[in-house]
Amino acid sequence: MNMVPSVILALDVEDKDRARSILQATGDKLEWVKIGLQTYLRDGPDFVREVADSGKNVFLDLKLYDIPNTMEKALESLADLPIGMLTLHASAGPEALRRCAQFAEKSMPDVLLLAVTVLTSMDQETLSSIGVDSSVDKQVNRLASLASGSGIGGIVCSPLELSKLRPLLPQSVKLVTPGIRPSGSQTGDQKRIMTPAEARQAGADYLVIGRPILAHEKPAVALDGIQNELNQLTNG
């Protein structure tokens, strides 16, 4: 049976006060928090430090994409931040990925770099419109293999990609999956979803979950429910 994946709360909220109250409400049960572009651009590195000081591991979801030198320099600028994961786009190419992986290994040894493959908002038509002729599936596999072969330690993927990527990549590569909806919760704009238990069975190492926890009247209860569902597979 696969290991129990850790839950990462996507802290997509309107302001810092709301973020603080959610963090307080979830307490020690929550180990990981994802800070995305919206929050990072608004609240900056000080907020990342504040979240880390409150005892959480921070996944900084900046999806970096630029020329190799600029990406490496961007990592250099982030090297002192207390983060545990950072995203970049696999389509930045092999040199950018290699240089980032090498820099991180040397100067950010506690940071897991994660590659984003094809954004889940893109379908076949969108890919064609930017001149990519492969199918979405093929492009996801190609970019995930490229990232892993370039030394990137993890991949962000949709739940439905888990079973295709797990056998393709070394076991050490971590798979981080948004698009998770506990049974009975609202799907919102997520279309290709799985429950936490299904994602565990498909080989996810981390589950990124936002609205099912954020929108719950009692976020700690929602988190408990998810963690119970994940643990039940072990006990049952």
- Name the residues annotated as catalytic: 63
Q: Residue 13 or 79: which CB sits closer to ligand C5P?
A: 13
DSSP string, 40-100: HHHHHHHHHHHHHHTT-EEEEEEEE-S-HHHHHHHHHHHTTS--SEEEEEGGG-HHHHHHH
Residue 136, CB-side half-sphere exposure with 13 Å CA sphere = 15
Work out the widest C-alpha separation in the chain, in whole angstroms. 50
Structure tokens at 229: 């569902």
Does residue 225 belong to the site contacting ligand C5P (CB under 6 A)? Answer: no
Joined together, the tokens standing for residue 106 give 């040397």
Amino acid (1-letter code) at residue 223: L
Pick the piece of the chain touching ligand C5P (CB under 6 A) from 43-51, 101-109, 142-150, 209-217. 209-217
Which residue(s) pair with 10 in the sheet? 34
Q: State the nearest-atom distance from the C-beta of 219 to ligand C5P, in Å.
A: 12
Footprint of ligand C5P on 10-39 (CB under 6 A): 10, 12, 36
CB of 210 to ligand C5P, least distance (A): 3
Residues 6+ apart with CB under 8 A from 203: 2, 162, 163, 166, 175
Under the criterion CB under 6 A, does residue 194 sit at the interface with ligand C5P?
no
Q: Taking CB under 6 A as the rule, which mask of x and - marks residues 140-169 in contact with ligand C5P? A: ----------------x-x-----------
Out of 16, 73, 164, 211, name the contact with ligand C5P by CB under 6 A.
211
| Distance in Å, CB of 8 to ligand C5P, minimum | 9
Q: Which two tokens stand for residue 174?
A: 């971590």
Q: Which is nearer to ligand C5P, 36 or 153 (CB)?
A: 36
**What number of helices (H) and strands (E) belong to the chain?**
10, 8
**Geometric angle at alpha carbon 168, from 170 and 157, rounded to 5°:** 95
Least CB distance from residue 119 to ligand C5P, whole Å? 6
Using the rule CB under 6 A, give the single segment among 73-81, 102-110, 129-137, 203-211 that binds ligand C5P: 203-211
Q: Does 207 bind ligand C5P (CB under 6 A)?
A: no
Among 154, 210, 219, 225, contact with ligand C5P (rule: CB under 6 A): 210
In this complex, which beta carbon is closest to ligand C5P, that of residue 12 or of residue 95?
A: 12
Residue 184 CA to residue 186 CA, distance in Å, equals: 7
Residue numbers at the binding site for ligand C5P (CB under 6 A):
10, 12, 36, 120, 156, 158, 178-179, 188, 190, 208-211
